[in-house]
Chain A
Amino acid sequence: MVTPMTSQGTQLTVEQVGYLTAGPGRAAETALARLLDAGLVRVSREGLVSAVHLSNCGAITPLEARTLSRARTGARFDQVVRSTAFSTEMKALHQDLLDRRLLQRPRHRNPAWGFSLTLAIALFLLGFVAAEFFLAVPIALLFALWQRGRRAVTRQGRQALLHVSATDRVHNVAVYGFCGKVNRRPVADEFGLPQSVVKMLPLKKHRKRQSSSDGGGSGCSSCGSGCGTSSCSSGSSCSSGSGCSSGSSCGGGCGGGGGD
């Protein structure tokens, strides 16, 4: 599931597309989407992600393996995405993109950069009055450039993304996220996921909903800042009665496979 080769020879996996589009949260969503697509995990109405019991293992990438192992113990949809987004496997993916110069260390944009630029221009004009001011112009310009910051995705990275076409539902997740829409149709619907489940994913406050009518370019990380969800253990509630407090019945079950 790689993108076509760009002129610089860049090929992206669908997880990398997700990462470059909207950060580690999106890459985590993509890994989960691939597992859902392959029938390796299922999601319940309450958002509990569980591994489907199959004879083969099925995870193709390290991110998928991490997601699958989290699903095996069962976790809520947003927790699974979050746990993958913060994983060492994700760090490795990030590093790989850095090494390939598709990503760079970002610098936060200082909103005062415009002021600095104006200052540089003013200094330039003042230079006609007194030549000393010209000396200050390059300093002010460089300072303005510094303040302008730089995005995480490099030009090469942005170019590679241009070649991405959303060909299947997993790609749709990479490009638009589970919360996004393709041709006005929610991406979640393609997976049969209730909206209540995908809405568990926290979005950055200023995020515009990604839809295919937009450029579909870089957005915001879907597992955004301050995912303050309190961790709740397993989705199934187990309430009154102490006799059996696992999510499922412990009636009759003899300790899962042999007691060893």
Chain B
Amino acid sequence: MAGITDLGVGIGWRSEIDLTVERLPGVDFVEVVAENLHIGRLPESVTLLLERGVPVLPHAVSLSLGGADEVDLNRVEHLGGIAEAVGAPMVSDHVCFVRAGGLDSGHLMPVPRTKDALDVLVANVELAQRNLPVPLALENVAALLEWPGGELTEGQFLAELVERTDCWLLVDVANLYANARNIGTDPERFLDEIPLERLAYVHVAGGVEHGGVYHDTHAHAVLPEVLGVLDELCSRVKPPGVLLERDDNYPSDTEIATELAAIRAVVDKHRG
């Protein structure tokens, strides 16, 4: 995929920390939440970053591709519009559902790992891809719940998805860790099962343990264990990009820079 070979280390652009993102050294690329942007009116900060030549990648949270409803083409169009406005080489969303039965969870809910669900997901993804101007990458989510009657592991599920739709994968290592803690899945097995050559880039995020459960909050420091999963991934494939995601409780600029540096250290460790 053109322009995707070496994104480097990046950070999620958020309006609360826009000046921080602009001023941080060592930000190679950024990601924006597509639903938060207007196509005709990009934030000044994003325009500034684009002028500097920093790649801006749109990330969606509302397509609900794993939902039973046919994907909403308005949302797809918006995502495509943002991609064009920022000249992005690709876009992304998640393997999840958000809405069902007329209700909105406001969250990325895991889908059943069954053939049925996969068929519906594939149909939605293909429809979305036909209506997007750039390639689509899909991200694995953190699940507190497991659907009964699962037929495939998460890795197998994604592998089949890639096989049938030719989409890319956005691997969130914090979510892999969360699932290991909460539903006993194995990150290494996941990495074994997915087609690593279809890796678009990686997400890293923080979370917190609470009540015996790990919560992927994006509002806390990145755990060393999560960097450990990143390390495991980097030992198998060179990720085209790694992005730090933070959505709330932003720490000082220094702390953010330190987290980015820690991520970069893991990535650089595996360079030839």
Q: How far is the CA of A16 from the CA of B238 in the complex (A)?
A: 58
With A249-B218, A253-B216, A259-B215 already in contact, the answer to whether A42 and B17 are too (CB < 8 A) is yes
Q: How far is the CA of A247 from the CA of B17 in the complex (A)?
A: 11
Q: Is the CB of B43 within 8 A of A45?
A: yes
User: SS class of chain A's interface: helix, strand, loop or mixed?
Assistant: loop
Closest to A239 in B: B38
- How far is the CB of A193 from the nearest CB of chain B, in Å? 9
With A45-B18, A54-B252, A240-B78 already in contact, the answer to whether A254 and B215 are too (CB < 8 A) is yes
Q: Is the CB of B218 within 8 A of A46?
A: no
Q: Is the CB of B252 within 8 A of A39?
A: yes
Q: How far is the CA of A249 from the CA of B20 in the complex (A)?
A: 17
Determine whether B172 belongs to the interface, using a CB cutoff of 8 Å to chain A.
yes
Contacts of B91 in A (CB 8 A): none
Q: How far is the CA of A247 from the CA of B13 in the complex (A)?
A: 11
Contacts of B205 in A (CB 8 A): 252
- How far is the CB of A53 from the nearest CB of chain B, in Å? 4
Q: How far is the CA of A2 from the CA of B41 in the complex (A)?
A: 46
Q: How far is the CA of A255 from the CA of B38 in the complex (A)?
A: 26
With A243-B64, A257-B219 already in contact, the answer to whether A250 and B16 are too (CB < 8 A) is no
Contacts of B59 in A (CB 8 A): 249, 251
Determine whether B69 belongs to the interface, using a CB cutoff of 8 Å to chain A.
no
Q: Is the CB of B62 within 8 A of A241?
A: yes
Could you tell me how many residues of chain B have their Cβ less than 8 Å away from some Cβ of chain A?
62
Interface residues on A, range: 35 or more
With A45-B43, A53-B251, A253-B219 already in contact, the answer to whether A239 and B142 are too (CB < 8 A) is no
Q: Which stretch from A82-90, A103-111, A217-225, A230-238 is at the chain B interface? A: A230-238
Closest to B77 in A: A240
Determine whether B52 belongs to the interface, using a CB cutoff of 8 Å to chain A.
no
Q: Is the CB of B35 within 8 A of A244?
A: yes
Cβ-defined partner of B247 (8 Å) among A50, A242, A249, A257:
A249
Closest to A246 in B: B247
Determine whether A192 belongs to the interface, using a CB cutoff of 8 Å to chain B.
yes
B-contact bits for A29-62, CB 8 A (1 contact / 0 none): 0000000000100111110101011100000000
Binding site for A on B (CB under 8 A): 12, 14-20, 22, 33-38, 43-45, 59-64, 74-75, 78, 94, 98-99, 104, 106-108, 139, 141-142, 144, 172, 174-175, 203, 205, 207-208, 210-211, 213, 215-220, 245, 247-253
Binding site for B on A (CB under 8 A): 39, 42-46, 48, 50, 52-54, 74, 192, 235-260
What are 24 A-B interface contacts by the 8 Å CB criterion?
A: A42-B17, A42-B253, A43-B19, A46-B15, A46-B18, A46-B44, A48-B15, A53-B252, A239-B36, A239-B37, A241-B78, A242-B104, A243-B75, A243-B98, A245-B35, A248-B247, A249-B36, A249-B59, A252-B172, A252-B174, A256-B215, A257-B220, A258-B213, A258-B215
Q: Which 3 A-B pairs have the closest CB atoms?
A: A243-B62, A258-B210, A241-B35
